[in-house]
C-alpha cells in the first residue's frame, strides 16, 4: 500500500444501508448512493464491481453489526427462556431506533432484500439463507437448553420450533414495516414466542366460559 486507507468504501456502504433500508434495492440508484455519500461514480466502481456487489457488502455489514448482539442475547450463561425475551426486546428496540432515525419503521433488511431480489439474484439469496440458518441455530440452541432444564418436553421437535419462532419473529418485523407501526412488536411479540414454545405464563391461568 502506498497510500493511507480512506473511508470511501465504508461511506458508500453506510449510505447504501440507509437508503436501501428505508426504500428498496430497486428504488435506490447508484447515482443516488454516490450523491448522498458525496462520492464520485468512478470511485464507486473502484470499490465495487457492480451494484449487486455493493448490496452484498451491505448485507455483510448488517451481519457483522448484528452478530455481537445475537451472541450476547443468546449467551449460554443466561436462562434460555430469558434469551427469547431479550430477542424480542432487541427486535423492538432496533425498529424503534430506525423509526426515530429515519421517520419510519424499516423492518428487517435481510428479509426485505430476500423478498425483493430472491427471485432473480442467487448471490443475494445465498447470503441471506446463510444468515437465516445461523439465526435458527441460535433458537435451536436455546430450545435445547430449555429441554435440558426440563422446561420443554424431551420429544420437542427442535428444528420445527426454531423454524416456527423464526417465522413468527420475522413476520412481526415485516408487518411492522408494512404497517409502519411499532405497537404490535412492543405489545405482542414476546408472548407469541412463549406461546409457540408452550411456556407462556398467561396460558397457565386460563378461565373458560
Partner DNA sequence: AGCATAGTTGACTGATCGGTCAAATTAAGT
Partner DNA sequence: ACTTAATTTGACCGATCAGTCAACTATGCT
6 or 29: whose CB is closer to a second copy? 29
Instruction: Pick one of DNA, a second copy, none as the site partner of residue 167 (Cβ within 5 to 8 A by kind).
Output: a second copy
DSSP result, 69-131:
HHHHHT-TTS-HHHHHHHHHHHHHHHHHHHHHHHSS----HHHHHHHHHTTT-HHHHHHHHHH
- Given the complex with a second copy, which of 79 and 153 has the nearer CB atom? 153
Q: How far apart are CA 97 and CA 112, in angstroms?
A: 18
Positions touching DNA (CB under 7 A) are 1-6, 8, 28-32, 39-47, 49-52
In the complex, what is the shortest distance from the CB of residue 4 to DNA, in angstroms, rounded to a whole number?
A: 4
Indicate which of a second copy, DNA, none lies near residue 77 (CB less than 5 to 8 Å, by partner kind).
none
CA 9 to each of CA 38, 47, 187: distance values in angstroms, whole numbers, following the listed order? 12, 6, 39
Residues in touch with a second copy (CB under 8 A): 22-27, 104, 106-107, 111-112, 114-120, 125, 128-129, 132, 147-148, 150, 152-155, 160, 163-164, 166-172, 174-175, 177-180, 184, 187-188, 191-192, 195-198, 200, 203, 206-209
Strand, helix or coil at 48? Answer: coil
Q: How far is 24 from 39, CA to CA, in rounded Å?
A: 20
Q: Which does 68 bind (CB under 5 to 8 A by kind): DNA, a second copy, none?
A: none
For residues 43 and 31, give the distance between their C-alpha atoms in angstroms, rounded to a whole number.
12
How near is the Cβ of 11 to a second copy at its closest, in Å?
A: 22
What letter does residue 157 receive in the DSSP assignment?
A: -
Shortest Å distance, C-beta 44 to a second copy: 19
Amino acid at each position: 500500500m502506498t497510500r493511507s486507507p480512506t473511508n470511501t468504501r465504508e461511506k458508500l456502504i453506510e449510505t447504501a444501508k440507509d437508503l436501501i433500508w428505508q426504500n428498496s434495492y430497486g428504488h435506490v440508484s447508484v447515482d443516488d448512493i454516490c450523491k448522498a455519500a458525496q462520492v464520485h461514480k468512478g470511485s464507486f466502481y473502484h470499490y465495487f464491481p457492480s451494484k449487486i456487489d455493493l448490496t452484498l457488502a451491505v448485507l455483510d455489514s448488517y451481519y457483522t453489526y448484528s452478530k455481537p448482539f445475537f451472541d450476547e442475547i443468546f449467551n449460554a450463561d443466561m436462562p434460555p427462556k430469558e434469551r427469547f425475551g431479550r430477542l424480542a426486546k432487541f427486535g423492538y428496540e432496533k425498529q424503534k431506533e430506525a423509526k426515530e432515525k429515519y421517520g419510519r419503521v424499516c423492518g428487517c433488511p435481510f428479509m426485505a432484500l430476500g423478498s425483493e431480489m430472491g427471485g432473480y439474484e442467487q448471490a443475494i439469496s445465498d447470503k441471506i439463507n446463510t444468515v437465516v440458518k445461523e439465526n435458527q441455530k441460535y433458537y435451536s440452541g436455546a430450545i435445547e437448553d430449555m429441554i435440558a432444564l426440563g422446561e420443554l418436553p424431551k420429544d420437542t421437535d427442535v428444528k420445527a420450533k426454531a423454524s416456527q419462532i423464526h417465522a413468527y419473529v420475522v413476520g412481526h418485523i415485516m408487518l411492522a414495516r408494512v404497517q409502519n407501526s411499532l405497537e404490535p412488536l412492543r405489545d405482542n411479540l414476546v408472548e407469541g414466542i412463549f406461546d409457540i414454545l408452550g411456556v407462556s405464563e398467561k396460558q397457565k391461568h386460563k378461565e373458560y366460559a
